[in-house]
Chains A and B, each alone.
Chain A
Amino acid sequence: MLGFLKEPVVVTAEINVNLVALTVMGLITRLWGLCYPRAVVFDEVYYGQFVSLYMKRIFFVDDSGPPFGHMLLALGGYLGGFDGNFLWNRIGAEYTMNVPVWSLRLLPALAGALCVPLAYQILVELHFSHCAALGAALLILLENSLITQSRFMLLESILIFFILLAVLSYLKFYNLQRHRSFSGRWWFWLMLTGVACSCAVGVKYMGLFTYMLLLAIAGLHFWHMIGDQTLSNVSLLCHFLARGLALLLIPVVMYLSFFYVHLALLYCSGPHDQIMTSAFQASLEGGLARITQGQPLEVAYGSQITLRNVLGKPMQCWLHSHTNTYPIRYENGRGSSHQQQVTCYPFKDVNNWWIVKDPGMQQLVVSNPPRPVRHGHIVQLVHGITTRYLNTHDVAAPLSPHSQEVSCYIDYNISMPAQNLWRVEIVNRESDTDVWKTILSEVRFVHVNTSAVLKLSGASLPEWGYRQLEVVGEKLSKGYHQSMLWNVEEHRYGKSQEQKEREVELHSPTQMDISKNLSFMAKFTELQWKILTLKNEDTEHKYSSSALDWITMDTNIAYWLHPTSGAQIHLLGNVVTWASANAAALVYTCLSLWYLIRRRRRIYDIPEDSWQLWVSAGGVCGGGWVVNYLPFFLMEKTLFLYHYLPALTFQILLIPVVLQHLGDHLCRSVLLKSMFSALIVAWFSSVYFVYCTFSPVTYGQPALSMTELKDLRWKDSWNILIRKQ
């Protein structure tokens, strides 16, 4: 126990100078002149607003991905003491003094710099030579597109860092597997794999691709273990459980914890509230909570309520009526009932108030004690201001002729009786006797006479309906759809029987109390669902591109342009590296096919262990490229060149793999070998040359003259901004 007294404490440090040097160079290339330009660059305008919202603790929904990446950026802002006061509205806008540009951009730059030593180590763990590993790291180091992307407040470099970290830790874990199972380091790397995977997914959903790849590789390796008869069943089970814990359970828990932190940080209501359900909004400070605070929970006969459509598309709106009637004839010649219009109105208005009435009683006030409305009860809905009854009948709706018109009933004495009984069906009920609850219950109104369901059709009415949204009675209710569900948002117990007093009452704000404990899981599910389903209008961007353009780099993105000097920053890759990476992928595929077919006929061109190396390196690097690239062909969203960068990173790692293989196995004679080395040196210098040539548009300085810019336009499809004098 006191062993350290008997023996001296010895610390032996082993420093790989290669690694240190690479890290330093990575830091230099990524951190040099980080504050320049002191202006909003490209997507900083997008992520910046979220950083500001984090600083102010205002809730938001971003459909582009989970919140971990945003939180990391916000961490930079927090450490730099950013107060969140900056208007992120325009690319190129100068930063004010209160924005800590350096610390905001520091984390992505660090992540980008660390990718260089990671690449080195991945190749070492794949059992390639230090020379090859050094080559891989240098290629990453001199890749202009990766440098540009990591020098600003963007997420890709963080994503790539976590992806590479996950791959590296899995490889380390796998290499420890054979001799030192269940040792401390084994556990460490296994756990780190899971953590890095979940971080990658947490930054951007693109991380899922690499996560899936690692899961598949781990599955394959485990499958080989099953075949290993020397392992007992019990140890096999332990291995399985350990992997399940680290690669499935930990990522899920981590992912949930991102959201937990996200929701814990953002507790104020903000601009995106209205996407969320009323219950969610009520859980945020300010906003709806201020209004609904203190409302009675149970809807009773005589309650005054506003009804919000649950769907919230095309916009949130409340059931509404006003004194105007439907026109007798529509533009297309169809007739209407000419009764009072019922619409869905996207703004708060006194005409959104309805009173729940018991068909059997005349009174419009809540009795004492209140009689709550339950699932299955039949009610009438009385419009507060006009005291007309919500009604539907067999008349075609104005814009959706297959559905019934919904109106507030006016008796014209033309043998068209009122049909104003509605059955309340609580969809998210727990039992059939559930009480209709404010905010929480999602309710369908089923018309008693025609069994039509009150529904928001989504179309907006013409001028006569003031462009408000159409509400119809849907006869063919195709299952559940949120457009048929309504929830009570504002609510109070009505007290005045007289119409005049009631109007005054309707105009006054509500008060009372409601529990606002929405559990974390409920909030998480709702937020997650909104992130996945929220679709921004697909707008084509000036610099958007298709997946096919990336492989040949037919496109670029202009990130920033100096307002006067013409200095500019572009997302442009190192042309030589991109071309070589493509060539490497091609050579790898062809050679593998050749070897495979020959091996099938029992002809072994290369020794078994170098074949294993070849396969595993291809599985990781080539597989990483495939899974990060091909899915984009199936995606319908707007794509940009920077989406290719993770795939590109893997493809670059493939270059030294192929080169070393060629050097080892195809260059048999000494002469060939030395020629090959000379070629590689020449090729490397061309990579460096291209890096230097394009560094002005990578770093944004120095400013180039017009002719110099023209000379940089190596491809006609590149959009380099040349000012006309």
Chain B
Amino acid sequence: MMFCAFLGSCLVPFAYLTVLELSKSLPAALLTAFILIFDTGCITLSQYILLDPILMFFLMGAVLSMVKCNSCADRPFSASWWFWLSLTGVNLAGAMGVKFVGLFVVLLVGLNTIYDLWDLLGNLSLSLVMFGKHLLARVLCLIVLPLALYTAMFAVHFAVLNKSGPGDGFFSSAFQSQLIGNNLHNVSIPEHLAYGSVITMKNLRMAGGYLHSHWHLYPEGIGARQQQVTAYLHKDLNNLWIIKKHDSDTADLSDPLSPVEFVRHGDIIRLEHKETSRNLHSHQHEAPLTRKHFQVTGYGINGTGDSNDFWRIEVVGRKTGKLIKVLRSQIRLIHVATGCILGSSGKTLPKWGWEQVEVTCTPYLKETPNSLWNFEDHINPKLPNISLDVLKPSFAEILLESHMVMIRGNSGLKPKDNEVTSKPWHWPINYQGLRFSGVNETDYRVYLLGNPVIWWLNLVTMGLYFLITVCTAVALKRGVQLTYELKELSGVVLRGGGQITLGWLLHYLPFFMMGRVLYFHHYFPAMLFSSMLTGITWDSLLKFCAGFLSPSTTARKVYGGVFLALVLLILYSFYLFHPLSYGMIGPMASDPSSPMAGLRWMDSWEF
């Protein structure tokens, strides 16, 4: 907690320095700092352990060092230039490593760098060799360095987290064998597959699941009304299947005296679900989601089904008659009657399928991991257990796989039906906060809500900034003669403000396109940018006005007066709203006797 709060408070000096660098104006920087110090939302966010303060620390660090590096542009390859450039890279790696939202700041730095390089390219006094050096330096510091750090972070992650845990099922068999405590770590299981073995089958696609079935039927109208077969990411008893011959029953196989018969490449087999005793079955009905594929069901009673339960087992790259190895053999199951291949489409079934993954039989005979499986667990008391030190995946494979799993998990955070979720347009207007703790009147309540005065000030400033930019840009384009100071100032507005606005857009707009569950705190990185913009805009606006008013003492008085008023306003609003972040006890704000009564300016706030 201490740590996060410390990082959270670092945001203030970072923002201060950034604005100072961009605008070269102390009041602007101070205003930004005041805004961040006295914003209840920022305080609440950094006081409690969440990843956001860390993310915002790195993000602001990256922006600051980028800006610093830009201002070193006149003495390239100097020590300080190298320092800031590589620091940008380090911060980028940090931001990306905390949350994927860090990608947006990478985009910001990337665009800035491209602009920078384009500028250098147009500078004819710079030889192409020099330009190549510039390019190389940036590639090194902004691409190679962060990537190296990022992968190093993952290497540490895998090295530290080498124990098995509840999320194992999300990963491939090879990945799992690296985890201590997983049943695949230093496995000792029968090596060759035999009839009568109890097995689990895992799909080979990244984050593919185990072949699974359960006591639930496909709903009315979706193919035949037979038992569901799905792919399930967690380890479960319902993932167990028994391998049987297609023409004889198990009775004789369970007899301990009967000889062991191995399964061979090209054999025709039947897979019986252990819990429900139904056979893996397919037929020419449409699969529930992938309509061009066939439906896969569990069929039959106590292992007696029909000829649609027969599957031919084939190992990739092997010849007929070869034995099938657990874990190592990549197999496919071909439906004998229709010639389709058992596969997992990777699509999530709706509620009736418990949001598990669809399993289909695909008539297109393409070689993709979707239609390849391996055997993971293998239980057969008649066979000797052999220790297998198999499957050493390379680090790159592990890295890729863990990212696939994360991306799938992230996009899986979909809002449920009828759930009221936070919408991106709510955020800048501070429409609704997030309850951190406490619901009832007697609880100690903390409510994440931005200081409304500050947030609305930011919002108004955004409009003001837009107006100022349009005016200055048009004036410059029309060739209006400006004094030296005004030219400087318009440079600050257009270039500095532009960079910050770009940052705000990059950290805000992408949320409109996300399908996942969104929360209010996703806006805070963007809010940092908008606070910095507020500082720059007000400073420039007042200077413009002062410039027009005449450079006398009255102008300076107006300038100082407005700044003082803004700061006092912020201070007063903080005094009003500070209980939001430091905790409230007592009746709800809707009750007139509450200390927060009268402060519930919007009906949607719930403190």
- Chain A residues packing against B (C-beta within 8 Å): 223, 226-227, 229, 233, 313, 451, 457-459, 476, 478-481, 483, 540-542, 597, 600-602, 634, 636
Contacts and interface: CB of A to CB of B under 8 A. Distances in A.
A95 to B, nearest CB: 28
A226 B474 contact: yes
Contacts of B128: 601
Q: Interface size for chain B: under 10, 10 to 19, 20 to 34, or 35 or more residues?
A: 20 to 34
Contact of B432 (A229, A451, A479, A636): A479
B417 interface: yes
B420 interface: yes
B40 to A, nearest CB: 19
Given A313-B418, A481-B420, A600-B122, 13 more contacts: A226-B478, A227-B477, A227-B478, A229-B479, A476-B606, A478-B420, A478-B432, A479-B604, A483-B418, A540-B289, A540-B291, A542-B292, A600-B118
Nearest to A537: B350
Contact of A480 (B118, B121, B604): B604
B477 A601 contact: no
Interface in B257-301: 289-292
Interface of B: 118, 121-122, 124, 128, 289-292, 417-418, 420, 431-432, 439, 474, 477-479, 513, 515, 590, 603-604, 606
A233 B474 CA distance: 11
Contacts of A226: 474, 477-478
Contacts of B290: 540
A422 to B, nearest CB: 17
Given A229-B478, A476-B439, A479-B604, A458 B418 contact: yes
A223 B420 CA distance: 43
A636 to B, nearest CB: 7
Contacts of B121: 597, 600-601
Contacts of A636: 515
B515 A602 contact: no
**7 smallest A-B Cβ distances: which pairs?**
A479-B604, A458-B418, A226-B477, A478-B420, A227-B477, A600-B121, A600-B122
Contacts of A478: 420, 432, 604, 606
A483 B479 CA distance: 57
A223 B474 CA distance: 8
Contacts of A223: 477
A590 B449 CA distance: 49
Nearest to B126: A601
B289 A601 contact: no
A599 to B, nearest CB: 9
Q: Name, among A223, A541, A601, A634, the residue most crowded by chain B CB atoms within 10 Å (CB to CB).
A: A601
Contacts of B603: 479-480
A231 to B, nearest CB: 10
Given A229-B479, A478-B432, A602-B124, A457 B418 contact: yes
A104 B242 CA distance: 60
Nearest to A539: B291
B226 to A, nearest CB: 21
Contacts of A476: 439, 606
Contacts of B124: 601-602
A233 B290 CA distance: 61
Contacts of B474: 226
Q: Name, among B122, B124, B418, B420, the residue most crowded by chain A CB atoms within 10 Å (CB to CB).
A: B418
Contacts of B431: 479
A602 B128 CA distance: 13
A288 to B, nearest CB: 25
21 contacts: A226-B474, A227-B477, A229-B478, A459-B418, A478-B420, A478-B432, A478-B604, A479-B420, A479-B432, A479-B603, A479-B604, A480-B604, A481-B420, A483-B418, A540-B289, A597-B121, A600-B122, A601-B121, A601-B128, A602-B124, A636-B515
A565 B103 CA distance: 57
Contacts of A541: 291
Nearest to A458: B418
A429 to B, nearest CB: 13
Contacts of A601: 121-122, 124, 128
A70 B319 CA distance: 60
Contacts of A229: 478-479
Contacts of B604: 478-480
Nearest to B290: A540
Nearest to A224: B477
Contacts of B118: 600
A634 B418 contact: no
Contacts of A540: 289-291
A602 B124 CA distance: 8
A535 to B, nearest CB: 11
Contacts of A227: 477-479
Nearest to B289: A540
A702 to B, nearest CB: 29
Contacts of B513: 634
A476 B289 CA distance: 36
Contacts of B420: 478-479, 481
Given A600-B118, A600-B122, A602-B124, A542 B418 contact: no
Contacts of B418: 313, 457-459, 483
Contacts of A480: 603-604
B125 to A, nearest CB: 12
Contacts of A233: 478
A601 B122 CA distance: 6
A479 B423 CA distance: 12
Contacts of B478: 226-227, 229, 233
A479 B124 CA distance: 60
A313 B420 CA distance: 14
A627 to B, nearest CB: 16
Contacts of B291: 540-542
Nearest to A456: B418
A229 B481 CA distance: 13
B356 to A, nearest CB: 18
A457 B96 CA distance: 39
A397 to B, nearest CB: 14
Q: Name, among B289, B420, B439, the residue most crowded by chain A CB atoms within 10 Å (CB to CB).
A: B420
A542 B363 CA distance: 14
A480 B431 CA distance: 11
A456 to B, nearest CB: 9
A229 B420 CA distance: 54
Contacts of A483: 418
A331 to B, nearest CB: 16
Nearest to B439: A476
Nearest to B605: A479
Contacts of A600: 118, 121-122
A478 B478 CA distance: 51
A481 B477 CA distance: 48
B473 to A, nearest CB: 9
A725 B340 CA distance: 22
B477 A458 contact: no
A636 B121 CA distance: 40
A541 B513 CA distance: 24
Contacts of A479: 420, 431-432, 603-604
B606 to A, nearest CB: 7
Nearest to A475: B439
A458 B209 CA distance: 31
B383 to A, nearest CB: 42
B543 to A, nearest CB: 24
Nearest to A477: B606
A30 B555 CA distance: 73
A223 to B, nearest CB: 7
A448 B246 CA distance: 68
A640 B402 CA distance: 33
Contacts of A597: 121
A478 B439 CA distance: 13
Contact of B417 (A451, A458, A542, A634): A458
B132 to A, nearest CB: 13
A479 B515 CA distance: 21
A601 B603 CA distance: 59
Q: Name, among A459, A478, A481, the residue most crowded by chain B CB atoms within 10 Å (CB to CB).
A: A478
